[in-house]
Amino acid sequence: MRAQPKASHYINGRFVDDEQGAPLPVIYPATGETIATLHSATPNIVELAIEAARAAQPAWARLKPVERGRILRRAADILRARNAELARIETLDTGKAIQETLVADPASAADALEYFGGAVASYTGDYVDLGGPFAYTRREALGVCVGIGAWNYPIQGAGWKSAPALAMGNAMVFKPSENTPLSALALAEIYTEAGLPDGLFNVVQGYGDVGGALASHEVVAKVSLTGSVPTGKKVLALTGSLMKHATMELGGKSPLIVFDDADLENAIGGAMLGNFYSTGQVCSNGTRVFVQKALHDRFVERLTERTKAIRIGDPLDPETQMGPLINKAQHDKVMSYIGVGKTDGASLHYGGGEPKLQGFENGFFIEPTIFTNVTDQMRIAREEIFGPVMSVLSFNDEDEVIDRANDTEFGLSAGVFTRDLPRAHRVIAELQAGTCWINNYNLSPVEMPFGGFKQSGIGRENSLSALALYSQEKSVYVETGDVASPY
Ligand code: NDP
């Protein structure tokens, strides 16, 4: 199986390479085979990309917003037309089941391009009446922005960052995760085909050091990172010391609360989506599933039945529902957490094994796993595992579960399942989380702001909030009379 792109990087509207850069093998997680080899960016490549962005940005920012938007919307149409091909690249890069990537990944990037392409023309400044004189505000581009992506949603991440940045008149240099370098290159080609002027969306590959070099570059005005909390802290410290804008979309250990009046099948469906989709590698996952005592046993019984039916296997088979983890390191980390859960006294209720699948013996597969009898202080209930491992905890009443749900350093997401709607809103209002769901889980439409409280991050992606965060506000006072000067 090969998925070799034309070159490693995409700068100024074309593919470029510098073979002096450290080799960057692309591994298909289902088989462990190398499907492409790229090169990490050298300092020369980083400079070329930043310079291309810097040179292209001012003319782009001067275009009418509706003209910028038209190009983004054209690119969205091309993404949709190539959905099957792009989904295949995403599956080869991430190992996620093709039945997911066909509906969730390029489609979500296309949604972002379409939404921001349409919204930006209406994203206007204010008029302020000062009783004669007046003021108005302008929303101006920041300049060159850097996007740094995680490996779980590569093309979505590239779309979610580049669409609001470009819509507002910025240029972007995007660094995908070293694990998933392919689909951002495909997006770059599509932007060019849609008519985006050269230099406005550039892709450079590399490890953390390349991300660091981009984030600290003097030309760069803003960095938007999706990644873990430790990486986010490092990059935020760096950008803070250089007074750059920053958006941090980081990890979580989110609570999903199921009251005993909830629709059982929907609550279980939500809990499974929030733990097993993308093989559990989703930042907003509700990995602490709090179930009210009276419903707990029925919930676990039916959850187990439905979990047993999950089809693990060849990610390219449309029948497969769960693929492997991204790489060996992540696989080993998740297996070690399963060991920690057992040692700490939780009951391994289902899964926890490494299925050996014919033809995929070297893949990084782990069964969907359910722990019961989990208590709040156990490590599996406190630390982000980033794999298909659900912890089920039980609770008695509303006040208790709110306290326990909030007892975490993270604050990305939260969910509540109940038929009692006043209670749903009351509980959500008390939860310390940036992105919440009532009677569903993990849906992130582009119209809705997405981001975290507490250690889970700063800033928001999607919605008009993202346009605010990719722009700066200029206030203009306009005098209509004389200057009242005492001198
Ligand atoms: P990492 O934090 O390891 O890496 C994120 C990105 O930052 C990668 O591109 C990485 O490059 C780069 N990077 C690493 N070190 C530095 C540095 N010093 N300076 C600049 N860039 C750097 O996260 P993962 O890729 O492992 O992704 C998983 C994490 O992402 C989880 O914690 C998950 O919760 C979080 N996440 C958050 C989301 C959100 O929206 N809140 C969504 C998706 C994931 P390299 O790949 O080479 O290490």
Atom of ligand 1 nearest to the CA of 231: 2
Residue 37 has pLDDT above 90, yes or no: yes
Q: Compute, in angstroms, the gap from residue 249 CA to the centroid of ligand 1.
A: 9
Residue 342's SS3 state is: helix
402-443 pLDDT, tens digit per residue, is 999 999 999 999 999 999 999 999 999 999 999 999 999 999
- From 90, 178, 249, 367, the catalytic residue: 249
DSSP codes, 408-446? SS--SEEEEE-S-HHHHHHHHHHS--SEEEESS-S---T
What stretch of H or E contains 203?
strand 201-203
What's the confidence (pLDDT) of residue 22?
97
Q: Compute, in angstroms, the gap from residue 259 CA to the centroid of ligand 1.
A: 34
Ligand 1 within 6 A of 236 CB?
Answer: no
Instruction: Report d(CA 183, CA 428) in Å as an integer.
Output: 36
**By alpha-carbon position, which residue is closest to atom 8 of ligand 1?**
177
Residue 205's SS3 state is: coil
Structure tokens at 103: 């509906």
Q: Compute, in angstroms, the gap from residue 228 CA to the centroid of ligand 1.
A: 5
396-406 pLDDT, tens digit per residue, is 999 999 999 99
- From 90, 244, 283, 367, the catalytic residue: 283
Structure tokens at 427: 């509980």
436 is catalytic: no
Closest CA to 95 of 228, 231, 1: 1
Residue 55 has pLDDT above 90, yes or no: yes
- Mean per-residue pLDDT, 228-254: 98
Mean pLDDT for all residues in the chain = 98
* Position 48 confidence tier, pLDDT thresholds 50, 70, 90: very high
- Mean per-residue pLDDT, 246-258: 98
Atom of ligand 1 nearest to the CA of 450: 40
* Position 1 confidence tier, pLDDT thresholds 50, 70, 90: confident
Atom of ligand 1 nearest to the CA of 249: 41
Ligand 1 within 6 A of 386 CB?
Answer: yes
Q: Compute, in angstroms, the gap from residue 69 CA to the centroid of ligand 1.
A: 29
Half-sphere exposure of 81 (CA within 13 A, CB side): 9
Residue 76's SS3 state is: helix
Instruction: Report d(CA 281, CA 274) in Å as an integer.
Output: 10
- Mean per-residue pLDDT, 333-362: 97
Ligand 1 within 6 A of 449 CB?
Answer: no
**By alpha-carbon position, which residue is closest to atom 13 of ligand 1?**
208
Residue 20 carries which side chain, given as an amino acid letter?
Q
**By alpha-carbon position, which residue is closest to atom 41 of ligand 1?**
249
- From 161, 175, 244, 253, the catalytic residue: 161
- Mean per-residue pLDDT, 216-236: 98
- Mean per-residue pLDDT, 261-265: 98
249 is catalytic: yes
193 is catalytic: no
What's the confidence (pLDDT) of residue 452?
98
Residue 119 has pLDDT above 90, yes or no: yes
Ligand 1 within 6 A of 73 CB?
Answer: no
Residue 483 has pLDDT above 90, yes or no: yes
Instruction: Report d(CA 368, CA 188) in Å as an integer.
Output: 35
461 is catalytic: yes
Beta bridge pairs of residue 248: 225, 458
Q: Which of 205, 283, 456 to mutate to test the pocket of ligand 1 (most atoms within 8 A of CB)?
A: 283
Q: Compute, in angstroms, the gap from residue 229 CA to the centroid of ligand 1.
A: 8
Instruction: Report d(CA 178, CA 134) in Å as an integer.
Output: 51
